[in-house]
């Protein structure tokens, strides 16, 4: 009887160990980079489709294959965007549904291109890294206004 109890305890501890290990690996697998940085940003002109996070990712693939028109953001506006996002709250991006028009970006960082989406509302605005699954939330009213001005200059 005692041997059976010891065997069950070992199994229980082994199961808990593997669960703990899986949780730790998942936490370590998250990207730590929380600062927004870009060498250059291209905004797709006049494209505003919305949907879920997965839909946005697929819209990007369509835009790439259709060779849609892109606008390069000027260095001064790029610097302003980086400054705005330095004050923004950042968190992990979860699968969600987007309502309203979405601005699609290609962000070049260290010779790699990443897919981003940006949105503006009256209360808050944000930038979503669709490849790295990270979100920057802009809540400061002056930053929202400046962010909207920069995006609309190239997007609309």
In tens, the pLDDT along 56-113 reads: 777 777 777 777 788 999 999 999 999 999 999 999 888 888 777 788 888 998 888 8
Q: Whole-model pTM?
A: 0.72
- Asked whether residue 140 carries a pLDDT value surpassing 80, the answer given is yes
Contact by Cβ (8 Å): 86, 34: no
Axis crossing angle, helix 75-86 with helix 141-155, rounded to the nearest 10: 150
Q: How far apart are CA 103 and CA 100, in angstroms?
A: 10
């Amino acid at each position: 009887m005692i041997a059976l109890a010891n065997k069950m305890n070992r199994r229980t501890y082994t199961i808990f160990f593997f669960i703990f290990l899986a949780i730790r690996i998942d936490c370590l697998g998250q990207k730590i980079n929380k600062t927004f940085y870009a060498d250059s940003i291209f905004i797709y002109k006049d494209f505003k489709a919305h949907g879920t996070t997965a839909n946005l990712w697929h819209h990007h693939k369509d835009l790439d294959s259709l060779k849609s028109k892109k606008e390069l953001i000027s260095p001064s506006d790029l610097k302003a965007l980086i400054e705005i996002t330095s004050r923004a709250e950042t968190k992990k991006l979860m699968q969600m549904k987007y309502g309203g028009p979405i601005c699609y970006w290609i962000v070049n960082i260290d010779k790699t291109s990443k897919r981003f989406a940006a949105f503006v509302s009256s209360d808050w605005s944000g930038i979503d890294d669709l490849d790295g699954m990270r979100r920057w939330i802009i809540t400061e009213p002056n930053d929202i206004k400046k962010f909207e001005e920069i995006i609309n200059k190239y997007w609309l």
